[in-house]
Structure 1
């Protein structure tokens, strides 16, 4: 309830009411909130006041705006430990979620200096370039751009690229994946990334660059993965 005679600002009262509904289970993770207009009419307040309350809760991470859809109660973030080498599919299945892949591009390109250095091939060598949208329970989670040495993937095609490359390498080709090096950065989504991930342009994202190696010490893939910051958090154990 909103008490207009209270010394507490109305936007703050709206925030606390939404928090109460989330804590009590009246609003469930992933549930869409009423529109600003509905809030304004229900409490006889301005939409600007409602917008301020919702924006504050979005900034706190309790709510999330989805472009063209509305505002939703934030789902619990997926916590990914930065230890052990697992594929996206393995990560999602371990959490009881169903992974899937939308193949955006499948190309053979000439390796740039950076890609060539990472994959230990000559500049201009032909490598596979895959752009893939990774989903969990049909929700976009990550956008990948991967570069692969052609000779390591003799039968790679679009159908194979729609599944787990790690499973393909180990189960079909019969080669073990040994280890990877990776870095994590913070960034903001450009228009292409935002449209693919169904977030707003300028929203925060987490970026991982990974270079994975086969058991024969040859590079397997050089991949840049952009994760939705509202759905992912990374953790690492450290010991003194």
Structure 2
């Protein structure tokens, strides 16, 4: 395994490129060389190797199994880490081309549940957007989003592009989110939109995003195909 010698780039990026090239020679779920082997082959420090692998994990190109090593990811499956990113950002980071089919886009009155999530009153006007999200032309997720009336003219929102980017361009800094992930089975409407069989496994992700002032700025419910999307979590037994 060899590494480029471009001195204008950080060394960990060059190491990541070298590992990525090696991964391209292997099959999904094949093991990559160990950290020690990579250190020896590329003549770099353990910290540099680890930073390179972390970058590849974030991009969905490899995954790690504690105690077993690093493995080539299946390109058909997108795995998301615990970083607050939009669908568009997720796909771009993984080298996929995101596109959107807008199913509906309109102002409506908040239901009791949507109002509770957004901290507004039932019946308040909200912007409701339903979209089919695709990656490299293949259906990935079905999404319903509600935005509260926080001073944005809903008529100026482009429903086909990243809402996070549009929020931040208008001064809504999306700082954090609370979300729930559930295993569900697709109903007829969802299955047809996602090109899956009725009853196929899926992930339902319900998210409320907050700005830097702690105000809810988005309530989203997204159904992801179970065969193409997953989550990588790093958890600790002890707090702190």
Normalization by structure 2: what TM-score? Answer: 0.66
Aligned-residue Cα RMSD (Å) equals 1.9
Partner of 2:197: 200
Residue 173 of structure 1 corresponds to which residue in structure 2?
170
Contact 2:110 2:124 in 1 (8 A): yes
Aligned position for 2:111 = 112
Q: Match of 1:218?
A: 215
> Which structure 2 residues correspond to residues 120-159 of structure 1 after superposition, within 5 A?
120-157=119-156
Rg (Cα) greater in structure: 1
Task: State the partner residue of 1:191.
Answer: 188
Contact 1:109 1:129 in 2 (8 A): yes
Q: Give the 3-state SS of the residue equivalent to 1:114 in structure 2.
A: helix
Number of aligned positions between the proteins:
167
Secondary structure at the counterpart of residue 150 of structure 2: helix
Rounded to whole Å, the distance in 1 between the matches of 2:129 and 2:210 is: 18
Q: Which runs of 5+ in 2 are unaligned?
A: 1-25, 29-73
**1: distance between equivalents of 2:156 and 2:137?**
23
Counterparts of 2:110 and 2:142 in 1: how far apart (Å)?
20
TM-score by length of 1: 0.66
Tell me, in whole angstroms, the C-alpha distance in 1 between the residues paired with 2:205 and 2:141.
10
Aligned 8 A contact 2:127 2:154 in 1? no
Displacement, 1:156?
Answer: 4.1
Unmatched 5+ stretches in structure 1: 1-23, 29-73
Map of 1:40 onto structure 2: none
Shift of residue 75, structure 1, vs aligned partner: 5.3
Quickly say closer, same or farther: Cα 1:89–1:152, change in 2 above 3 A. Answer: farther
